Structure 1
Amino acid sequence: MAKVHVCNVLVYDNPSAFLKPFQFEITFECIEDLKEDLEWKIIYVGSAESEQYDQVLDTILVGPVPEGRHMFVFTADPPNPSRIPMQDLVGVTVVLLTCSYKEKEFIRVGYYVNVDYADAELKENPPATPVYEKLVRNILATNPRVTRFKIDWDDQEAVNQENVPPTTSAASLNAHEDPFGPLKNPVATSKSEESSMEVI
């Protein structure tokens, strides 16, 4: 049984300028005290074609974590646009929020992200060289894809993670389906001016 359950994720400041930081408010619950830290990551998928363009925007350690419900805001710098293939900069991509315990990933929340120009003229006639300052990103926060992995929380014999090794590419949003196909576990709601999803 999982010892950590992600209860809710709020996406702040969405939509926003492409060069602004990402902000996720994460609420999670521990069913018992954890001896080790939880490792959270925000990963931006630069291209659906190759993982080499994935960027880990930030990694934080949270712990030690006592039993109970906890909440924090995870803020990360935007991706470096110069490391994204020019043909993949504008359009639909993915941002991943992952959590691991003892270097074993047990949950991944993936969001589609639409990147485009806010200016109608630039939309119609995009410049040959992207103007980063004019780009806007919109995280489709009401349609997350949640993937859970079984891990061994107690350092006993390794548990089979549904025979699917975690990866960080766009395809990893759902290891068994087309990454841009129907969502798996689309348990989401919208709240006030902030976008949110609830994970049960």
Structure 2
Amino acid sequence: MSVVSLLGVNILNNPAKFTDNYVFEITFECLEQLEKDLEWKLTYVGSATSDQYDQELDSLLVGPIPVGVNKFIFEADAPKTNRIPDADILGVTVVLLTCSYDGREFVRVGYYVNNEYETDELNADPPAKPIVEKIRRNVLADKPRVTRFAIKWDSEASAPPEFPPEQPEADLQPDDEEYGAEELEEEAEEEGVEAAEAAGGANAAAVAADGDAEMEGVEENGEQAEEDEMSEEGSVDLENESEDDLEEEVEGEVVEGGDDAMEVDEKPVGDSSKPHEVMAH
């Protein structure tokens, strides 16, 4: 069980100019007193082809953390364009908001960011050298991807069965919980439909091949043709039945195979008390 749960993240200046700071209002809940501070970081992914262009825009420590619901403002600088390839300044990229305790990351929130020019003319015919002052960003704040990791907190009892001291492969782990569930389910359904259609086409081809073979038997032997017709009728029914069963199985797999996804702990903040304003330093 996580001692700290992320309740919500609001981006206060969105959309904004590419050169504007990122401003997040972060709300979280702490279930027990912590001995150390929480470390928050914001990372900008400069290129999809290499992580050498990733930039840590800012980091800060938040604490001491009182028990209950807490809220604070996290403001980070815009990325430095001289560290981003010109071809990757425009288009879609990602920013990652992460939180760690005692050097151990326990939650990560990823947002898609779309960078484009303010005018249609520039978007239709972008200059070879990007004009950064005329680029605006739009963070897809309503569809973040949230990943949680089990970590050891202050007590040994809170440690997971196999606690890793470091997490260099965190990006390769499947998302425990994430927004965008509807989009992921739609993709899974489309894949299931394509699989069903492919399976149906294969069955139809098999039936046609059997029919051709049986027609050749009719030309060679009249008596054998009658038996083949009876066999063909039976085989067609079996093939159709097998195809229907296969489609039902595929559809069932699509429904059951959807990614586990949900929003960030949609736990309502109690009306009886306001969130604590915690110190960031």
TM bin, normalised by shorter chain, reads 0.7 to 0.9
CA positional deviation for 1:66: 1.6
3-state SS of 2:156 partner: coil
CA distance, structure 2, for counterparts of residue 13 and residue 37 of structure 1: 26
CA distance, structure 2, for counterparts of residue 146 and residue 91 of structure 1: 22
CA distance, structure 2, for counterparts of residue 50 and residue 8 of structure 1: 30
Contact 2:113–2:137 (Cα < 8 Å) also in 1: yes
Instruction: Give structure 1 regions of 4+ aligned residues with deviation exceeding 6 angstroms.
Output: none
3-state SS of 1:123 partner: helix
3-state SS of 1:116 partner: strand
Contact 2:34–2:154 (Cα < 8 Å) also in 1: no
2:147 alignment counterpart:
147
CA positional deviation for 1:184: 6.7
More strand by share: 1
Instruction: State percent identity of aligned pairs.
Output: 50
1:199 alignment counterpart:
265
CA distance, structure 1, for counterparts of residue 122 and residue 103 of structure 2: 43
Gaps of 5+ in 1: 188-197
CA distance, structure 1, for counterparts of residue 141 and residue 129 of structure 2: 29
1:185 alignment counterpart:
261
Contact 1:145–1:186 (Cα < 8 Å) also in 2: no
CA positional deviation for 1:67: 0.6
Q: TM-score, normalised by structure 2?
A: 0.60
Aligned length: 183
More helix by share: 2
Deviations 1:128-181 (A, max 9, x none): 00100000000000000000001011363963479x93568xxx3x7448xxx8
2:230 alignment counterpart:
none
- Output the amino acid matched with 1:199: D
CA distance, structure 1, for counterparts of residue 116 and residue 169 of structure 2: 26
Contact 2:105–2:167 (Cα < 8 Å) also in 1: no
CA distance, structure 1, for counterparts of residue 36 and residue 106 of structure 2: 14
Deviations 1:84-108 (A, max 9, x none): 1111110010011100000000000
3-state SS of 2:88 partner: helix
Contact 1:47–1:84 (Cα < 8 Å) also in 2: yes
1:190 alignment counterpart:
none
CA distance, structure 2, for counterparts of residue 79 and residue 40 of structure 1: 17
Contact 1:18–1:136 (Cα < 8 Å) also in 2: yes
Contact 2:114–2:137 (Cα < 8 Å) also in 1: yes
Cα distance change on mapping 1:102 and 1:51 into 2, 3 Å:
same
CA distance, structure 1, for counterparts of residue 17 and residue 131 of structure 2: 12
Contact 1:30–1:66 (Cα < 8 Å) also in 2: yes
3-state SS of 1:150 partner: coil
Gaps of 5+ in 2: 176-182, 185-258, 267-281
CA positional deviation for 1:12: 1.1
2:127 maps to 1:61: no
In our comparison, the structure showing a higher alpha carbon Rg is 2
3-state SS of 1:151 partner: coil
3-state SS of 1:122 partner: helix
CA distance, structure 1, for counterparts of residue 135 and residue 174 of structure 2: 32
1:17-32, aligned counterparts within 5 Å?
Answer: 17-32=17-32
1:99 alignment counterpart:
99
2:211 alignment counterpart:
none
- Output the amino acid matched with 1:57: L
For the aligned residue pairs, the C-alpha RMSD in angstroms reads 2.5
The structure showing larger relative contact order (alpha-carbon pairs under 8 Å, at least 6 residues apart) is 1
2:167 maps to 1:165: yes
Contact 1:145–1:185 (Cα < 8 Å) also in 2: no
CA distance, structure 2, for counterparts of residue 15 and residue 78 of structure 1: 13
